[in-house]
Amino acid sequence: MDLSAINPILLIASLMVAATPLLLAAVGELVVEKAGVLNLGVEGMMIVGAISGFSIAVETGSPWLGFLASAVGGAVLSLLFVILTQVALANQVASGLALTLFGLGISSLMGQSYVGVKPPATPDLYIPILSDIPVIGPIVFSHDLILYLGIMIVAAVWATLKYTRVGLILRAVGENHDAAHALGYKVVRIRIMAIMFGGACAGLGGAYISLIRVPQWTEGMTAGIGWIALALVVFASWKPWRVLLGAYLFGGITVLQLNLQAAGVAIPVEYLAMSPYIITILVLVILSADKSSAPASLGRIFHASH
Partner 1 sequence: MIVMEKRPQPSRAWSLATPVVAVLATMVFGGLLFGVLGTNPFVAIKTIFWDPIFGEFAFYYRPQLLVKGAPLVLIAIGLSLGFKAGIWNIGAEGQYIMGALVGAGVGLAFYPLDAWYIFPLMVIAGAFGGWIWAMIPAVLKVKFGTNEILVSLMLVYVAEQLLASMSLGLLKNPEGFGFPGSRNLNEYASANSWILQDAGMHWGVVAALIAVIFAYVLLNRHMLGFQIRLTGEAPRAARFAGVNPARLILFCLGTSGMLAGLAGMFEVAGPSGQVSIDFNVGYGFTAIIVAFLGRLHPVGILLAGGLMALTYIGGEIAQGNLGLPAAAIQVFQGMLLFFLLALDLLTSYRIRFAKKEVA
Residues that bind partner 1 (CB under 8 A): 40, 80, 83-84, 88-91, 93-95, 97-98, 101-106, 108-109, 112, 181, 219, 223-224, 227-228, 230-231, 234, 268, 270-271, 273-274, 277-278, 280-281, 284-285, 288-289, 291, 303-305
| The one-letter amino acid at 124 | D
CB of 187 to partner 1, least distance (A): 10
Query: What phi and psi, each to the nearest 5 degrees, are found at residue 124?
Result: -85, 155
Length of the chain measured in residues: 306
| Residue whose CB is less far from partner 1, 16 or 46 | 46
Give the separation between CA 215 and CA 54, rounded to whole angstroms. Answer: 9
| Residue whose CB is less far from partner 1, 85 or 122 | 85
CB of 161 to partner 1, least distance (A): 23
In this structure, what DSSP letter does residue 41 have? T
CB of 143 to partner 1, least distance (A): 28
Cα–Cα nearest to 187, from 196, 177, 197: 177
| Residue whose CB is less far from partner 1, 52 or 280 | 280
| Residue whose CB is less far from partner 1, 1 or 289 | 289
| Four-point Cα dihedral 148, 151, 152, 154, nearest 10 | 160
CB of 139 to partner 1, least distance (A): 29
Give the separation between CA 288 and CA 139, rounded to whole angstroms. Answer: 33
DSSP for 229-287? HHHHHHHTTT-HHHHHHHHHHHHHHHHHHHHHHHHT-SS-HHHHHTHHHHHHHHHHHHH
CB of 153 to partner 1, least distance (A): 23
CB of 137 to partner 1, least distance (A): 36
| Residue whose CB is less far from partner 1, 62 or 108 | 108
DSSP for 175-222? H-HHHHHHTT--HHHHHHHHHHHHHHHHHHHHHHIIIIIS-S--TTTT
| Residue whose CB is less far from partner 1, 59 or 219 | 219
Element (H, E) at 25: helix 8-34
